[in-house]
Amino acid sequence: MDILHALGDGLSIIMEPHRLLLLWGGVLCGLALGILPGIGGVAGTALLLPFTFSMDAAGAMALLLGLAATTTHGDPISAIVLGAPGHAASAATALDGYPMTKRGEGARALGAAYMSALMGGVFGAILMAVALPIVRPLILYIGSPELLALSVFGISMVAVLSGNTPLRGLTMACFGVMLAMIGSDPQTGTLRWTFDSLYLWEGLPLVPLTLGIFALPELCDLLVSRTQIVQSEKMQNNWKGLWQGSVDCFVHWWLVLRCSWIGSVIGAIPGISAAVIDWISYGHALKTEKNAAQTFGKGDVRGVIAAESATCSREGGALVPTIVFGVPGSAGMAILLGAFMIHGLVPGPDMLTKNLAITYSMVWSIAIANIVGSGLCYLFSSQFAKLASLRYTLILPVVLSLVYIGAFEGHRSWGDMFSLLFFGVFAWAMKHFKWPRPPLVLGFILGSIIERYMFISIQRYGGDWMLRPLVLVLFLMAALTIIRPFLQDVKAHGGFGRMLSDFHAPKISMVQIFPVFMLCLFAYMLIEASSWNFAAKIIPMIVGFGGIIFCAISLFDDMCKSEVHAARAEERAAAGIADEKMHMDIGTNITDLSNGTILFRGAIFFGYLIAFLISMYLIGIVPTVPIFIIALMRIEGPEPWKFVIPMAICMTALVYGLFDQLLTIPWPPSFLGEHWPWWKAHMPSA
């Protein structure tokens, strides 16, 4: 009865008109920041924090939680419509959302994303309300061994996310783990693969890597194809599509419930990156949904539902350890914890006793924010879906400018720009050589977590940590997840002996360039690591040798793969029988072009990006934006000036007003800015 009374008091607190207004303001800020690539809710929460000083505690929480709960609602827009996820949390959504857009079902994908986000967010709030009184002993049980085992289970998802190329997926996961170890080793202080660059001392930031891996390859293919994402005549009615996507969520309500549970539970575990939640949920749906192996990655609405329901339910889970222990479950919650202190709210028993009404007002804030945020997204989605039918010359300049600004949020240095460019080229090659990209990002997200918790577990528990019940269960599940694709391959060949006898003499082809490059890269990284301190090199050496083994076996399979098995696959394809597994990544739609044309136009695309960097170095990013937009629209179109000039003016105003003045992003100094006083002093007077 006390809990029900506090729940009612919490609702009456949040329904005060001025607090509802603050909640709406937070929702609007969250949606706006969610649409912008790379900015995210952390920057927005930090921006709004100073404005809460004069507010009461409940009003401040309403404003901040309204933003935190709805940032992910804006994420799917660019991921679904453009295939360019602006944040790591929406990368899994793009795997099926973007193919749906190219098929003319972008509105349906958006409708499914918003409804699953609404259902997941409300479920997360309900779970938080129920779990608060009983969750304390459960969270106290989870230690570093359980966090390590959960991370290992998460990285085992690469076998699922790699489709019919599990060896390639494991190779890229190993490479992602090694990328995560770049920087200063937390155990010994050893500098690992930093190339004497101060930028790499703290490790590679996630934002430019994610934008480079997922956003730039799709934008590059858009320029290479020189067409719209989808022809106008193929697009379904937007309102009909939104309705159909919403109905899909209720048809697959059990999937929404399961994935929301995954998002809430994992979100409540401090130390596990929120960016991995959607991948685990997507992998769960891929393994458990009927016929998912044939349709996921090709435009299955269930893939969108699985990713978004988990992503949007995590905020409710992340708030639980913040309130109960004062341990933030995410970066945004860490800033929220600062707001707690500002307003005299002490995490712990007080939040579950004398401040219980305020605690439940936070639950109501999350639930109402998800409802309002989804409603606003539905209201404007018909316009978002139309973006896919615009000419590429109207989309690319704006999106690329925002991608550069978003990538700069990594470490706010020139290194972010170079990282974005490097991983963009690397991921474009991965896409066209059919090497899956999700395992690389998953390995990068979990790599440092696995290393950190392994050392902590060994130092604290010795070897006994491996015998803890939950650790054993998670390790067993991870092993089964990784082994399963290999067993399926053996079965498909008719047995292990027959699979070995089917191999023929090696054949060399151009597609083998990429695995050879990866072998050389692994070898170089291992040679560099061989001279490090033992504690600093043990994990990189194990992972590196694993990557070499997986890559070498994959290369051998490509060179000597069974002609009989390939012929069977072709016969099945000709008969319209789908393979049991598939290449788990966004496919390309430029197969009708020659390799020479693709390479030439791809070089033009990355040439534009290099030109952007050069101009940014010479005159700064704000004046570069209009020059870049005008140049790309006129050279590639040419678009008429009546479109070019307004586009350049609006984007320049946005960059200057929002990013330069409001967010006060410290842009890197330009050559002109540093030397202007000298030029001004030496210019002849009139």
- In this prediction, residues 599-605 reach a mean pLDDT of 92
For residue range 536-548, list pLDDT tens digits in order: 888 899 889 999 9
**Tokens matching residue 426:** 């690397």
Greater pLDDT, 467 or 159: 467
Q: What is the pLDDT of residue 582?
A: 46
The residues that bridge with 183 in the sheet, in sequence order, are 192
Contacts of 240 (CB under 8 A, 6+ apart): 107
Question: Residue 617 above 70 pLDDT?
Answer: yes
Q: Name which of 242, 491, 480 is nearest 382 in CA terms.
A: 242
Q: Band of the pLDDT at 151, cuts 50, 70, 90? A: confident
Q: What is the pLDDT of residue 402?
A: 83
Task: Give, in order, the Cα–Cα distances in Å from 106 to each of 88, 168, 224, 230.
Answer: 20, 30, 21, 9
- In this prediction, residues 621-632 reach a mean pLDDT of 91
Question: Residue 573 above 50 pLDDT?
Answer: no
* Cα–Cα dist 552/542, whole Å: 15
Q: What is the pLDDT of residue 86?
A: 63
Cβ-contact 317, 132 below 8 angstroms = no
* Cα–Cα dist 663/424, whole Å: 26
Mean pLDDT of the chain: 79
Question: Residue 170 above 80 pLDDT?
Answer: yes
Greater pLDDT, 326 or 640: 640
Question: Residue 169 above 60 pLDDT?
Answer: yes
The residues that bridge with 191 in the sheet, in sequence order, are 184
- H or E element, residue 270: none
Question: Residue 153 above 90 pLDDT?
Answer: no
* Cα–Cα dist 398/401, whole Å: 5
**Tokens matching residue 370:** 């998800």
By mean pLDDT, which of 396-405, 557-566, 578-587 is the weakest?
Answer: 578-587
Tell me phi and psi for residue 153, to 5 degrees.
Answer: -65, -40
Contacts of 507 (CB under 8 A, 6+ apart): 559, 560
For residue range 233-266, list pLDDT tens digits in order: 555 567 788 888 889 999 998 998 888 888 888 7
Residue percentage of the chain with pLDDT more than 90: 11
Q: Band of the pLDDT at 327, cuts 50, 70, 90? A: low
Cβ-contact 628, 605 below 8 angstroms = no
For residue range 514-530, list pLDDT tens digits in order: 999 999 999 999 999 98
- In this prediction, residues 28-43 reach a mean pLDDT of 69
Q: What is the pLDDT of residue 545?
A: 93
* Cα–Cα dist 58/13, whole Å: 7
Question: Residue 37 above 80 pLDDT?
Answer: no
Q: What is the pLDDT of residue 522?
A: 94
For residue range 416-449, list pLDDT tens digits in order: 899 999 999 999 998 888 888 888 888 888 887 7
Cβ-contact 194, 201 below 8 angstroms = yes
Transcribe 348-377 into DSSP letters: SGGGGTTTHHHHHHHHHHHHHHHHHHHHHH
Q: What is the pLDDT of residue 604?
A: 93
Question: Residue 588 above 90 pLDDT?
Answer: no
- In this prediction, residues 546-575 reach a mean pLDDT of 69
- H or E element, residue 191: strand 191-192
Greater pLDDT, 316 or 235: 316
Q: What is the pLDDT of residue 579?
A: 46
Cβ-contact 502, 562 below 8 angstroms = yes
Q: Band of the pLDDT at 452, cuts 50, 70, 90? A: confident
Centre a 10 Å sphere on the Cβ of residue 657 and count the other Cβ atoms it contains: 11
Question: Residue 451 above 90 pLDDT?
Answer: no
- In this prediction, residues 128-149 reach a mean pLDDT of 70
Task: Give, in order, the Cα–Cα distances in Å from 561 to each of 100, 215, 260, 551.
Answer: 33, 33, 41, 15
Q: What is the pLDDT of residue 291?
A: 81
Tell me phi and psi for residue 532, to 5 degrees.
Answer: -80, 170
Question: Residue 611 above 90 pLDDT?
Answer: yes
- In this prediction, residues 312-321 reach a mean pLDDT of 75
For residue range 338-388, list pLDDT tens digits in order: 777 777 777 766 777 777 788 888 888 888 888 888 888 877 776 666 666
Centre a 10 Å sphere on the Cβ of residue 566 and count the other Cβ atoms it contains: 11
Greater pLDDT, 681 or 454: 454
Residue percentage of the chain with pLDDT more than 70: 80
By mean pLDDT, which of 11-15, 416-420, 559-563 is the weakest?
Answer: 559-563
* Cα–Cα dist 159/294, whole Å: 16
Question: Residue 578 above 50 pLDDT?
Answer: no
